[in-house]
Structure 1
Amino acid sequence: MSDAYTDADRQRHLPDHPSNKWRTAFERDRARVLHSAALRRLAAKTQVVAPGSNDSAYGAYLDSPRTRLTHSLECAQIGRELGKELGADPDLMETACLAHDLGHPPFGHTGEEALALAAADCGGFEGNAQSFRILVRLEAKAMGPNGEPGGLNLTRAALDAATKYPWTLAEGQARGTGKFGVYADDEPVFEWMRHGAVLGRSCFEAQVMDWSDDVAYSVHDLEDALHAGFLVPKTLLSLTEQAELFELTEIRYASGASAPELSEALARLQALDYWPGDYDGSFAAQAALKNATSSLIGRFCQSAAAATRAAASQAAGLDIGQDAGPLTRYAADLVVPRQTRLECALLKAITARYVMQRDDARERRRRQRELVTGLVEGLSALPEHLEPAFHAWYAEAADDCTRLRVVVDQVASLTDDAAYALSTRLGTV
């Protein structure tokens, strides 16, 4: 383990009794997330195309779209290598990336939007705050001295690395964002985790995790869109299509970006010799697309790595090319050049426009929002349908706010299929 990490970084909130002594603290963190039920459930949670659906423009059964689990695994591979290249502990990086989406509810961001409204009276809902809650409370591994749930009891550094938005709901609102990383009743562990941290600043490993997440889903969602036949690459040659794509990119993914600089970013991508300018589903096309995926990931990561090293060397007063040493915790920030961020933002917007904004997809999301809202209402009226652990917490709750949070925790834990099944059982569909 790198000497850049201290005993405080490796400290756990609760007393710990490891089953063996030869693994490092961060290797144990990685194993705990990898073996968690929350990670396994991501296999049946939507990424872009619903798992096991025939959601394909070709009309064929699309049996292998990416799920939240495969996305998390791919994000972990990217984050592990990028973090290691810059001096961060690779097991710590992989832990953060594996954990970053644990809190996503059924139906992805659609379910998140529905739960945010349903939980408005108990502090709201946010997937990142839910991930933190799973790690420190909901996942069954550790128990506190008074029998309280202690989650996976990860190290301080691992929890911090998995926290993309290190602030509360109120702080997020003050920042002008609805994103936040902790609910009110999880703040004691959050404050312990953030001891010695810079207020409102993500640690270096969390920044690497965040960029790895962006790279993974922007590139891989593009690949899935091509495989499913929703995107015909030649469509992007239309100036009318480009104008609408640039507008969407600026609104959702690159605030303040001008149409000319987005046009330049798209031109750079289309000029790459591996850019998928055509795709017909043949074996040769699939192989070329896979190579394009790898090359785009390398392009985005190498750009960030080079810029980060240069900035770290400059901050340390070193000459260009001199190594500033391992970059960890609060010793550095990840630097991603603006041109690279705009290219990544364009890929996100392409998937949003040609997959998520389809008319049938909008209608599906509307039904899913209604289903999630109905589950919260149904379980609140019939709490006996809660799973045993949630039912016990519901019975022990001292007020309506706490009971609502238990119901929201239960609904958020469901896979897509489990949400449909429970809705049928409750009679809410």
Structure 2
Amino acid sequence: MPQEPSALDHGVRAHAAGEARRPEAYTRRDRERRWPEPAKNPRRTAFERDRARVLHSSALRRLGAKTQVLGPASDDFVRTRLTHSLEVAQVGRELGKALGCDPDVVDAACLSHDLGHPPFGHNGERALDEVAAGIGGFEGNAQTLRLLTRLEPKTFADDGASAGLNLTRASLDAATKYPWRRGDGPARPDGTPTRKFGVYEDDLPVFDWLREGAPPGRRCLEAQVMDLSDDIAYSVHDVEDAIVGGRVDLERVRRTEEQQRVVGQVRAWYDPPVDDDALGAAIDRLVALPIWMRAFDGSRRDLAGIKNMTSQLIGRFCGAAEAATRAASGEGRLTRYAADLVVPPETLAEIVVLKGVAALYVMAPRELEPLYLSQRTIIFDLVDALLETGDRHLEPPFVADFHAAADDAARLRVVVDQVASLTDTSANQWHARLRGMLSEVF
């Protein structure tokens, strides 16, 4: 199944290197929370509190049992959404700090970036989008905003409604990878509209609040750092998992015909704004690096070699982006809308061909497996069963939402919220528990 390109691939970069004078790094407005709260510990900054709230959230813990590329139960080595998010946060924190961003803002955004993803990875996301087609669809990034501002229990508004984690404006903006409604985003490289979006219609009030004063459709620098860090971690670590799992033959990737297959996979799934020759040159550069291993036998020495390879690649990509951004925007603290992250085309090509390696040898073959159909069936069955039985099987927070829903569309959104909150493990368990009831109903 072709994958939507990331916001980075849409080319939202290097807006105005010579923009007018830069404002204060972070203003009082950046530190504002939608619902004012007294500081419990004056020695902690508002952004340190934001990071801590995300780190201690139940939504983050649940990522430990959610699919990244391979299911969390496939083996003890494979990454989950949680370990991926921790790695993204480490990459983003260091890159953001080097540019002058507040590291806690970037860290909070990176830890948050996958909170809205449902069970079974992108397969589950597509199934829920199909289920929710009549109520505005489902999108993991829009669901993340919903979790941070509504579903994750921490703070309540004056009217008694849940305000989610009630993060600062700067941290929420940094966590917003796609700052637009469905259908309002930039076109993909092939001219078709992007399917990605960052807010559902009924979450527009908080979205409008966090985007006050922001240029329409433009991401703040911290969100751009988060997005690049996600792409870097995704590309490098998925290849590492694939190599250790025996799904990628390192010597085979050196062959011209295999490299052509990788380029074809990149074009079919990601369609980045670089041509095929640039993609071919990128994979040539990568396999020619001294750090690129020729073989992997699972020994401790080879495991260390893989770790060195991934570490060096991360440093290569971050270093290139930092240098290009500094060249465009100068020295000093770069934050918010005072600069844009610049990713050299050669670096973008190298990142995306690594994603193509994982796609060709791991993700594309998996879409033909019976497991993929089974996962989609579980999602469809759970939504049907929960709608049919009202609030009987919902968790208590969602029972309250179900009772407060004004119509069938709102009730469906509550059910989608409930199913999206499940892990791979709990989705399977719920399905097994409800199987008898499902057979009676259907």
Residues 368-425 of structure 1, C-alpha deviations (whole Å, 9 max, x = no match): 1111111111111123101011011112211011000000000000000000011112
Question: Is 1:52 aligned to 2:73, yes or no?
Answer: yes
Given that 2:183 and 2:195 are in contact with CA atoms closer than 8 Å, whether structure 1 keeps it comes out as: no
Given that 1:254 and 1:342 are in contact with CA atoms closer than 8 Å, whether structure 2 keeps it comes out as: no
Deviation of residue 247 (structure 1)?
0.9
Residues 260-311 of structure 1, C-alpha deviations (whole Å, 9 max, x = no match): 2222111100111001221111111100110001000000000000000001
Given that 2:132 and 2:416 are in contact with CA atoms closer than 8 Å, whether structure 1 keeps it comes out as: yes
Equivalent AA in structure 2 for residue 192 of structure 1: W
1:370-409 to structure 2, matched below 5 A, reads 370-383=377-390, 384-409=392-417
Deviation of residue 256 (structure 1)?
5.0
- Give, in whole Å, the separation in 2 of the partners of 1:259 and 1:397: 50
- Give, in whole Å, the separation in 1 of the partners of 2:272 and 2:87: 27
User: Which structure has more RCO (C-alpha within 8 Å, separation ≥ 6)?
Assistant: 2
Match of 2:200 among 162, 173, 183: 183
Match of 2:276 among 255, 259, 270: 259
- Alignment partner, residue 59 of structure 1: none
Unaligned runs of 5+ in 1: 54-61, 314-322
Equivalent AA in structure 2 for residue 278 of structure 1: A
Match of 1:288 among 260, 280, 305: 305
Deviation of residue 244 (structure 1)?
1.7
Deviates more, 1:265-274 or 1:165-174: 165-174
- Alignment partner, residue 85 of structure 1: 98
How many percent of aligned residue pairs carry the same amino acid? 56
- Give, in whole Å, the separation in 2 of the partners of 1:311 and 1:174: 25
Equivalent AA in structure 1 for residue 424 of structure 2: D
Given that 2:379 and 2:419 are in contact with CA atoms closer than 8 Å, whether structure 1 keeps it comes out as: yes
- Give, in whole Å, the separation in 2 of the partners of 1:45 and 1:329: 31
- Alignment partner, residue 39 of structure 2: 18
- Alignment partner, residue 121 of structure 1: 134
Question: Is 1:111 aligned to 2:124, yes or no?
Answer: yes
- Give, in whole Å, the separation in 1 of the partners of 2:406 and 2:366: 44
- Give, in whole Å, the separation in 2 of the partners of 1:97 and 1:83: 11
Given that 1:129 and 1:183 are in contact with CA atoms closer than 8 Å, whether structure 2 keeps it comes out as: yes
Match of 1:142 among 147, 155, 161: 155
Deviation of residue 359 (structure 1)?
5.1
- Give, in whole Å, the separation in 2 of the partners of 1:170 and 1:237: 40
Residues 58-100 of structure 1, C-alpha deviations (whole Å, 9 max, x = no match): xxxx212100000000000000000000000011110000001
- Give, in whole Å, the separation in 1 of the partners of 2:78 and 2:273: 33
- Give, in whole Å, the separation in 2 of the partners of 1:246 and 1:170: 29
- Alignment partner, residue 427 of structure 2: 419
Equivalent AA in structure 2 for residue 210 of structure 1: D
Match of 1:389, SS?
Answer: helix
Question: Is 1:29 aligned to 2:17, yes or no?
Answer: no
Instruction: Give the direction of change, closer, same or farther, for the CA distance of 1:220–1:287 in structure 2 (3 Å limit).
Output: same
Equivalent AA in structure 2 for residue 186 of structure 1: D
- Alignment partner, residue 58 of structure 1: none
- Give, in whole Å, the separation in 1 of the partners of 2:360 and 2:224: 27
Instruction: Give the direction of change, closer, same or farther, for the CA distance of 1:107–1:204 in structure 2 (3 Å limit).
Output: same
1:189-228 to structure 2, matched below 5 A, reads 189-228=206-245
Deviation of residue 259 (structure 1)?
2.9
Equivalent AA in structure 2 for residue 205 of structure 1: E
TM (normalized to structure 1)?
0.93
- Give, in whole Å, the separation in 1 of the partners of 2:342 and 2:366: 38
Question: Is 1:75 aligned to 2:97, yes or no?
Answer: no
Deviation of residue 135 (structure 1)?
0.3
- Alignment partner, residue 346 of structure 1: 353
Equivalent AA in structure 2 for residue 170 of structure 1: G
- Alignment partner, residue 374 of structure 2: 367
- Alignment partner, residue 41 of structure 1: 62
Deviation of residue 172 (structure 1)?
3.1
- Give, in whole Å, the separation in 2 of the partners of 1:238 and 1:350: 13
Unaligned runs of 5+ in 2: 1-22
Match of 1:385, SS?
Answer: coil
- Alignment partner, residue 172 of structure 2: 159
